[in-house]
């Protein structure tokens, strides 16, 4: 039995007819002559040129007006009050006393206590006024100033006890500047008149000294530092009298940037 194979030619795809509309035919259909059509087209081109020219002229005028407007000046921020941060070196250890030949003690003389007059008891000294407790603390603000960049880098390299002292010195300078009119302190020595005492994160300086306008004044303050040793959390102080210049050398006080050697 033979096999019949049917072969179908693929029909070409259907395409929509392309309709071309001639402008002359449209004009004739609307009852217009070719001359009137050409005249209308020329008028439209003239109107388009006028419109583009007017738009360009308007933009140029607006640009010139903007260029003539005054440029507002940039706002000037008020200067930030800064405090020069200087680290005070710790006090030197006392030199050992050299042992020499024993000194002969004088022989005891006769007891003359019976013939000496009785010594009167000293008069009671007036009590000191209470310390001023700071309501606002400034050490963090001073260290955040860009001009204190060197102090911020140096503080983490100090021993914990020395770091407590330097943070409290910064707070003392800032407190005295703000709470004492006319005082411009630039250096604090917490151990000038008496040794300072550091207990944990608390500094007690009963015999400190502060320098302002080439004068030294007595100062006592108590200061507490945060556990992370970055800021001061409590501060109180009491400003004393001016220290006579004759006593400066006895307490290592000078007009230089730090205590004398």
Rounded to whole angstroms, the Cα distance separating 240 from 251 reads 16
pLDDT tens for each residue of 114-166: 555 555 555 555 677 899 999 999 999 999 999 999 999 999 999 999 999 99
Task: Name the DSSP letter for residue 234.
Answer: E
Q: Which two tokens stand for residue 22?
A: 């001639």
pTM reported for the whole predicted model: 0.54
Please report, for the chain, the start and end positions of each structural domain, with discontinuous segments joined by +. 23-64, 132-251
Task: Name the DSSP letter for residue 237.
Answer: E
pLDDT tens for each residue of 240-249: 999 999 999 9
Within a 13 Å sphere around the CA of 131, how many CA atoms are in the beta-carbon half? 19
pLDDT tens for each residue of 120-130: 555 555 677 89
pLDDT band at 180 (very low <50, low <70, confident <90, very high): confident
* Predicted pLDDT of residue 82: 47
């Amino acid at each position: 039995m033979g096999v019949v194979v049917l072969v179908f030619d693929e029909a070409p795809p259907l395409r929509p007819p392309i309709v071309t509309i001639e402008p002359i035919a449209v004009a004739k259909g609307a009852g217009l002559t070719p001359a009137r059509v050409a005249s209308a087209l020329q008028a439209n081109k003239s109107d388009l040129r006028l419109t583009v020219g007017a738009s360009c002229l308007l933009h140029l005028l607006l640009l010139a007006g903007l260029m003539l407007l005054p440029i507002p000046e940039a706002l000037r921020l008020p200067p930030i009050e800064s405090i020069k941060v200087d680290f005070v070196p710790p006090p030197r250890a006392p030199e050992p006393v050299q042992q020499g030949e024993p000194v002969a003690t004088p022989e005891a003389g006769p007891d003359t206590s019976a013939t000496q007059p009785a010594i009167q008891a000293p008069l009671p000294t007036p009590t000191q006024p209470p310390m001023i407790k700071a309501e606002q603390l400034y050490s963090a603000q001073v260290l955040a100033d860009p001009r204190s960049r060197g102090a911020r880098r140096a503080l983490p390299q100090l021993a914990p006890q020395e770091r407590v002292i330097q943070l409290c010195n910064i707070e003392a300078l800032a407190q005295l500047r703000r709470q004492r009119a006319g005082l411009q302190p630039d250096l604090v020595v917490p151990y000038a008149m008496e040794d300072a005492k550091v207990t944990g994160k608390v500094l007690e300086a009963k015999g400190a000294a502060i320098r302002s306008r080439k004068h030294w004044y007595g100062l006592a303050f108590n200061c507490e530092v945060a556990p992370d040793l970055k800021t001061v959390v409590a501060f109180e102080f009491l400003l004393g009298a001016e220290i006579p210049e004759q006593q400066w050398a006895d307490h290592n006080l000078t007009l230089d940037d730090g205590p004398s050697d």
